[in-house]
Amino acid sequence: MSARLADESGFTLVELLATLLVSTIVLFALFGLVDTATRQQSVATDRIDANDRGRAAIDVITAQLRSRVCISGVQGSLVAASDSQIEFFASLGLTPESATQSQTLVLQRRRLTYRPAPNNDVVEEVWVGSAPAPALPPATSTTATRTRTLLTNVSLDGTTPFLRFYGLIGTPPLPDLLLTPRPLSATNLTKVARISVGFAAKGRVAGVRTPMHNDILDRSPGCYFG
């Protein structure tokens, strides 16, 4: 036993080199694992953020389109509609737009626009009337009462347009018939029974995109004001 304890021969140079080589391989493998985990976490976080932003935007768009109203003898609900833009009259209840309108139901003219590159966003413009319904809001040739960006870093979902319009046409009426050409004609504006909204919210990381789609059925077949 004393002879073994007194032995000071240690490790050979080959053994040390082999140990260093194995340790280096293990260390680089751990670094690679940490790097992969960090990137995957970043992608997952970015995907969640894109999903949240897209869902919030499509909820706002859906709520607005479901609030469309038409004005009997004056103007239908839809004013203009194309692949990338829709303009319509809406009533969002008694939400005050100014101190003088807190208890009156005032019509709004709203315009939603998808703007491709270099903007890559969805913009909302609102023109608010100054008198109770059925008085109409100002024309869009005037400055909008409010303008805001609903969503940034957005693109189309493949070749699907931002907006699609379906109507009831024929005898008897045929549902789910895509209305063309777009922009819609004045006649087809009155036939819209369903509006389909679709886009892809993109993340900061390349390749992260969350498709969003929703269908809004026409809830204003009659006219509320007239």
Exposure string of 69-97, with b = 16+ CB inside 10 Å and e = fewer, is bbbeeebbbbbebbebbbbbbbbbeeeeb
Residue 25 lies in a domain: no
One-letter amino acid for residue 94 of the chain: L
pLDDT of residue 101: 47
The confidence band for 98, taking pLDDT boundaries of 50, 70 and 90, is low
Residue 120 lies in a domain: yes
Residue 29 lies in a domain: no
- Quote the domain boundaries for residue 100: 46-217
Distant-in-sequence, close-in-space partners of 53: CB < 8 Å, separation ≥ 6:
151, 152, 153, 201
- The SS3 of residue 102 is coil
The confidence band for 82, taking pLDDT boundaries of 50, 70 and 90, is very high
Query: What's the number of domains the chain is made of?
Result: 1
pLDDT of residue 91: 80
**Cα–Cα distance between 201 and 183 in angstroms, integer?**
24
Residue 176 lies in a domain: yes
Residue 14 lies in a domain: no
Residue 19 lies in a domain: no
pTM (whole model) above 0.85: no
One-letter amino acid for residue 96 of the chain: P
